[in-house]
Amino acid sequence: MKKTLHLFLGLALGALLSFTFLRAPVDRATVQQAARLIGLEMTVAEIDSMLPGLEEQLSSYASIRGQDIPNELAPALQFNPLPRGLVPDTRQEALYFDIPGAVSRPKDLNGLAFYSVTQLSALVKSGQVSSMELTELFLERLEKHDPTLHCVITLTRERALAQARQMDEELAQGRYRGPLHGIPFGAKDLLATRDYKTTWGAMPYKDQMLNYDAAVIEKLEAAGAVLVAKLTLGALAWGDVWYGGQTRNPWNPEQGSSGSSAGSASAVSAGLVPFAIGTETWGSIVSPSTVCGVTGLRPTFGRVSRHGAMALSWSMDKIGPICRTAEDCAIVFEAIRGQDERDPTTVAAAFNYNQKTDARKLRVGYLKGDFGGDYPFKEQDSLALAKLRKLGIAPIAIELPEVPDIGFVLSAEAAAAFDELTRSGKDDLLVRQIQNAWPNVFRQARFIPAVEYIQANRLRTRLIEETHRALREFDVFLAPSWAGANLLRTNLTGHPCVSLPNGFIDGLPTSITFCGQLFGEADVLKLAALYQANTDFHRKHPEGL
C-alpha cells in the first residue's frame, strides 16, 4: 500500500460532502476520488474496510451541524506561544510616557487633527481644550471626509458626546483618568459595541447587533477615551473591500488602504481620529499602517483580550493600536493590555515602558537575508539601518529559521469560524468572490485534513522553539515589512512588532518593522520612539486634509 502525502491542500472527510449535506451512502469511487485530493493512495480492500466508519463519521458531522455554534465559542484547544522555559516577567515597574509640557491651543482647532495623543493629552489635562471640543471636531471630520475615504461604518455620535461631557465634568471636579482622558478614538467594526451594530464589514452581518462591549472598548472607556466611530474592515477581516465599497488611502484616494484594518489606518492617516484599534491575524495591522503611513503595534499573542472581537483564527488573532507615533501606541497599549478570564489565552505580563531609559543599550539585530534581497522598500530600509547606526546602535546581522509551509492553519480555523456561512450559501453575499477571497478560501479549507492541521501545528511548535533560541541574545530585531517570510513567521509564533513610516516612494509611504521578544513591547516601542525622535516621516500627512 503506497501513501504519499500531498504538500499542499488535502481533503478531510468533509470532501465526501457537498455544502448541502449528502444523504447518499458513501461508496468506493467517492473515497478513491477523495483520497487523490489528500495525496493518499489506498487499496480497494483498505477502502472497503473504511466505508462503515465513514458512514458513522458522516452521522457525527450531521449531529454537530445541528448544534448552535456561535462565532465567539472558542475551541477547547488553545494556542500557547511560550517556548519551553520562558516565564513572562510580571514585575511591573513605574511607567513613564513623554507627555510634552509646553503645548498650546492653536487658533484654528482644525490644527489639532494631526496632533499626537501625547499632545492632545497635554491640552486636555491643562484645560486648554475640552473633550467635547475634540469630540465634535473629529465627528465633523469623519463626516466630511468619509465620502472620499469610505472608512466609517457607524458614527457613535450620541455615545461619544455623552462620554465627552462626562470626561469634562470629571476633569472639572479634579478627577483625571490618565493620558487618554477625553481623547476620541475609532474601533475596527469587528469589535462589539452596545447600542450600535457590529457588522464585521460583511453583507450577511450588516445589521448585526451585539449588545455588549468588547473588552478593549471597556478598557479604553475606563481610561477616559471617547469612542466616536466604528471603522471599516475588509469583509470578515480580509482586504479593504467591505459591503459599502473600498476603503481608500488618504495619500492617494484612487487606491485602497490595504487591509484588513483598513478604516482604522485610513482614519488615523487622514486626521479623522487621533488613534484607532485594529486587529491582525496575518498582516492586518502592518499592511494598512504601511500603506497609510501610520504607526501600528501588533502585540504579543495573548497580551490583549479578544472578548467581543470577531474570531477569525483562534491561534493567530491579535488586537493592537494604530496611532501617529510609537509613544502613542505605548499609551494605548497600556490601557488595553492585561488578563481577562473571558479570553483564556490572555497572559499576565509586565509592560515596563519608560522613556527615561536609554534605548541605545538595547541589543538589536536585523534579518540580513531579507534586507539583502531585491524588494520595493530596500533603499528606505537601508537608510533606516544607517540612521540607527548614526544614533549609536550597531544592529547585528542574524538569520532566523525557515518558516514551514503551514500558512493554511489560518484557513482551517477561519473556515471553522464561518462554517455555517459556507454551508448556508450566504457566503455568496460577500462582495469579493475572487479566488483568494474568503468565500473560496473557506470552501477550499474544507479539504484540509484534520491530521494535516495538527501536523502543521506540531511544526509550529518547532518554529517557536527554534525562533526563541535564535533570538535569545537580542531585545529587538528589524525586518522588512513585506519582504521575506518574517510577517508570517511572527504571526505564527506570536511575536510583537511595530510598523513605522521610514520614507516615501512616488509620494506614497513606506515602512519598516521593529520586532521584539515575546512580551517585549516596551523595548520595541522604545527603539521605535528613538527612531521617530530623530526622523520626521511620522509627522507628515496627506495634503488636502
Size of the chain in residues: 545
**Cα–Cα dist 175/169, whole Å:** 9
CB 265, CB 150: distance < 8 Å: no
* DSSP three-state, residue 447: coil
239 by Cβ neighbours in 10 Å (0-12 / 13-18 / 19+) ranks as buried
**Cα–Cα dist 81/461, whole Å:** 8
How many helices and strands in the chain, by DSSP H and E? 17, 15
The DSSP bridge pattern shows strands 276-280 and 184-188 to be parallel
Q: Let me know if 258 is a catalytic residue.
A: no
**Cα–Cα dist 78/315, whole Å:** 7
The DSSP 8-state label assigned to residue 301 in this structure reads: T
Helix/strand/coil (H/E/C) assignment for every residue in 118-187:
HHHHHHHHCCCCCHHHHHHHHHHHHHHHHHHHCCEEEECHHHHHHHHHHHHHHHHCCCCCCCCCCCEEEE
Q: Let me know if 188 is a catalytic residue.
A: yes
- Put residue 466 in one of left, alpha, beta given phi > 0 → left and psi -120 to 50 → alpha: alpha
- Nearest-CA neighbor of 164 among 144, 185, 187, 149? 185
**Positive or negative CA dihedral for 124, 126, 130, 134?**
negative
CB 164, CB 131: distance < 8 Å: yes
Question: Which residue carries 501606541 as its cell?
Answer: 329
Cell numbers that stand for 426 in this block: 450566504
Q: Which of 121, 130, 131, 260 is catalytic?
A: 260
Q: Which of 116, 266, 284, 287 is catalytic?
A: 284
Q: Let me know if 260 is a catalytic residue.
A: yes
Crossing angle of helices 326-336 and 117-125, in 10° steps, is: 70
Termini Cα distance of the chain: 68
Name the CA radius of gyration of the chain, rounded: 24
Q: Which of 116, 121, 131, 188 is catalytic?
A: 188
- Active-site residues: which are they? 188, 260, 284
